[in-house]
Structure 1
Amino acid sequence: MAERSDQSSIQDGSDADIAFTCTPCNELGSREEAVKYCPECDEYLCTTCTKYHLKMKATRDHKLADREEGKHESNAAKATARIKCQQHPDRDIEMYCGTHDMVYCLMCIATEHRACSDVTNLTDAAGLKFQQNEIMRMQEESKSIKELLEDTEKKKQENVTLVEEKRNKIQIRIQEIEESMIKHIKSLSKQASGNLNDSYSKIRAELDSDIAMVNNRISEVEKVKEQLQSTTEENPEYLFVQIKICQQIINDAKNVHAKLKLGGQTSIDFAENTKVSGHFQEVESFGRINEACKNLKRGIMRQKEIKVRLQNDEKTCRIIDMCQTDSGECILADRYNRKLKLMDIDQNITEFFDLGVPLTGIWKTGNKALAVKLDSNRIELLSLSTRISRVRSIFLKRGGGYIGIACADEKFYVSAGEEIVLYDTKGNL
C-alpha cells in the first residue's frame, strides 16, 4: 500500500522534509521523495520508479497522477476497488453471466461465454432490489446450511464414537485370537513333550534293564572263570556237574549277547507335522479389516443384478465358479467366454484373462496364486501379483472336462464324473 509521510527526516546530518515517500523504495529500506502517484497500483513513485513504471509492459498503460492528488485518488480507488479474476490475475472482474450465475473478467466473457445470452455489466447486475433479495436469500441459505453442517458434525462425532467402539471390540477379538492360538500351541507343545517323555522313559527303562541283565551275565561269567581256574576237585561226578552248570551259564551269556546284538541300537526321533508350521506360515493375518460406508445408494446397488459381461464377450456369460482374493476382489470363471474375470469391491470388472478353452473350475492356492482347470485336460497355474499372468501348466490324464477342483496338502483334487482323482503339483496321477 502507498505510504505518505508528512514528518521530517534527517538525511546526511540535515533535516529533510519528505512529504510523500516512494512506496517501492520504502519497501526496500530507502526513503526517496515521490513525485507521482499510480491509482491502479495505489503506490507513490519517485522519479526513477516513475520512469520504469512507464516502461514496463504490465504498468505502461497506467495513468499517473500528481502526488498531491494521491490521497484523494487512493480513497477513490478503495471505494471503487475491483476483485481480480482468478483465471486472469492481471484483469478485473467486470461482467456478470446470468447463464452461469457467476462474475467474470472481459477475457473470460470473450473466450468462454460468447454463446451465453444473459451477460450484463456489474452495474446493471448489482441492482439494489437484486442485492436486497439476494442478501435475504443468502441469510436464509446460510442459516439452513449452518444447521445442516451442525447436524452433520453431530453425526460425524457419533460416527467417531461408533468407530472407536468397533475398534475396541476388534482389538479385544484380536487379543482373544492371539491368546487362543498361544493356548492351543502350548497345549500341542505340552502334548508333544509328554509323548516325548513317555517314549524316552519307556526306551530308557528297556535299556537300563538290558544293561542290568548284561552286567548280571558278566558277573556270572566272571564267577565261572574263577571257578574253572581254582577247581581241585577230583570227584568225576562233581566235576562233571560243575562243568555243565558253567557251560549253561556261558550259553545263557551267549544268547543274551546274540539277542541284544540282533536288536541293534534303540533310537528316538521326531516326525514333525508340517501342517502346523506350514499352514501357520501361510496365514498372513488374523482377518481383514473392512471399511464400510453405509448409504442408500450403495445399499440399493447391492440388491441389483451385477453385470459381468464385457464388450468383447461373444457369448452369454456362464459363471461356473468363483473365489475371493485376500484384498476382497472376486475372481469369476466364465465358461462360455473362456475367460477369467477380476471384479473389484465395487462390482466392476477391472481385468480379464482369456484362456482360449472353456473353464471347468478355479481354486485359490495362495495369496497371489490361482489354479484354473480347463476343458482341455489341463490345469493352468496363474499369478495375481500385478496382472493376471500364466506361471506354468499341469497336464491331466483325465478329469479335465468335469466341473470341480480343489487343492490341499500340495495335491489337486479333480472331479472326474463319478470319482475324484488326485494329482500332485507336478501332474502325477
Structure 2
Amino acid sequence: MKATRGHILIGARRAKQNPVAASTTVEEKCWYHPDRNIEMFCRTHNMVYCTRCIATEHRSCSGVTDIDHATKGSYSMDELQGLQSEINDIFERLVDVTKKKEKILAETEEQKTSILGRIKDMKRKIIDHVEKLERASTDALKEKYSEVKTELEEDKTSVNKMTGKLEERKKKVTMALHMNKGQRFVQVKLGQKAADDAKTLCKESDSKSLKDITFTEDEGISDTVMAKQSFGQIDIDGRQKTLVIKTVDVKKDCDELKCLIPDLCQLHDGTIILIDQRSCSLKKLDQYNKAKLLCNFGRVPTGICCTGKDKVAVKFMNSEVLVLAVCDAIYQKHVHIRKKISIENGGFWGLAYFAGDLWMSYRHGVRVYSMSGLLKRNITHVQGLNGIIQLSPVHLAAGQDSIFVTNGCDGALCLDKDGSQKYELQDHRLRFTRGVCVTSRGTVFLSGSQSNNVVVFNKDGKCLGGKRFQQIECLRKAQWHCCMTT
C-alpha cells in the first residue's frame, strides 16, 4: 500500500522485545532519489546513499559497502548519543540565530521609522526656510513699491497745483483785454511767469526716468533644489561584528603538564588541528571547540600547516617533517604517515604551505622545501624600501598570492613566491611580532608577544586598528575566527 511503502516488517518476537524499535523502524529515503531507500555507504565521502547513487556517482569510490557491513565492529551507542548531542547544540544555535534575526528585524523597523522622521524634519525645515525667503522678498517688494508710489504721487501733486495756477492765470489773461494799459502789463508778466514755471515743471517731469519694479530670481537656489533627486542617500551598511573572546581548554586527562601550543592550522572542513609541545601530541578542535587527542608523536613538534584535504605537515625538533593524513570517520580514528622529509634547524617555530612548497623559519631566515624534500631556496634577507632587511622570522602565514613573515620587530613582511618583498606591515604598537594569520579576503592579523596585542591590516597593508590581550603566543586563522594560543 502507498501509505506503508516506507515501512519494513519485523518479527513479533523482536517487536515484543523492543517496542520502541517496532514503532520507529522506518526506511530513510535517498535525498537525490526519493523513491529509493538508503542501502549503501561510501567511505570516500563518508555518507550513505541509495544503490542508484552508488551506480551513477560513486563507481570510482573506494570502500563502498552496504549498511549492515559498514556498521559491523565500529558502530556504538556512544557515537549515536554524541551525534544527538551535536544536533541538539546545532538546533539551539539555529534557535538563537532566529531570535537574533527577529531582534535585527525589529531594529531595522526602528531604523526605518527614525529615518522617516528625519526626512519629515528636513521637509519641515526646508518649507520653513522657503516661507522665510518668501516673506523677505515680499517685504522688499512692498518697500520698493512704496518708494516708487510716494515719488509718483508727489510729482502728480506738483503737476496738479501747477495746472490750477495756470488755469487761473489763463482766465486773468483773458480778462486783461478789457483792462487799462498798466493792468494789462502786469497780467502779461504774471502770465509769462506762470507759463515759464509750467514749462520748467513739464521739462523736469520729462527728464525723470521711468521706474519699473523688477524681480530677478536667485537661480542658485532654484537650480540647487531642482537638481536634487531626494533629501539624501539611503544605503545598507554592514555591521562590524563584535569581537567575541572565548577561552578553550585543550588539556586532556592524559596530559601531565600544562599545554604549550606553538602552532595550529585548519583543515578544509573547518577542523582545527594543533600541536602540543609538552605532551608531544596532535590534537583537534571540532566546530564546537571540543578538544580531542589524535596521536602522540614521541618527539617534540614545532610547527604545523595544512597541505591539502585532510592532510597536514608537522615539523619536529629533530629536524624532520611528517606529512600526515588525518582521518576521523565513524569507522576509523587515527593518523596515517604519508611522507617523511629531512630538513635543517627543525627546532624553530614557523611552518607554512605556500605555492606548493613548505616554507620553514629558522634563526637567520626562511628555507623553502619542495614536498619531496628538496631545498629550493634559502632566504636570509630581502630588499626593503630603506635598504636590506635581515630576516629573523618567527611564524609564517600563507595568503592567496603572498606569504607573510613575522620578523620579530614591530610588524611583518609580505613576500612573493620568489622571496622578494611586496610591502611591509608596521605599527608602533607591536613589540616582538610573533603570530600572524591572513583571511581569504586578505585581511592580516599580527600579534605582539611583548605588547600583548593584535593589530589588523587590510590587503594593501593599511593599519585598521588593534586590541590588547593578557598574553599571546601564536595567532592563526580558523574559518571565521582568529585563534590565539596563550
- What range is the shorter-chain TM-score in? 0.3 to 0.5
* Structure with the bigger percentage of strand: 2
Scaled by the length of structure 1, the TM-score of the pair is 0.47
Q: Which has the higher contact order (CA 8 A, sep 6+)?
A: 2
* Structure with the bigger percentage of helix: 1
Scaled by the length of structure 2, the TM-score of the pair is 0.42
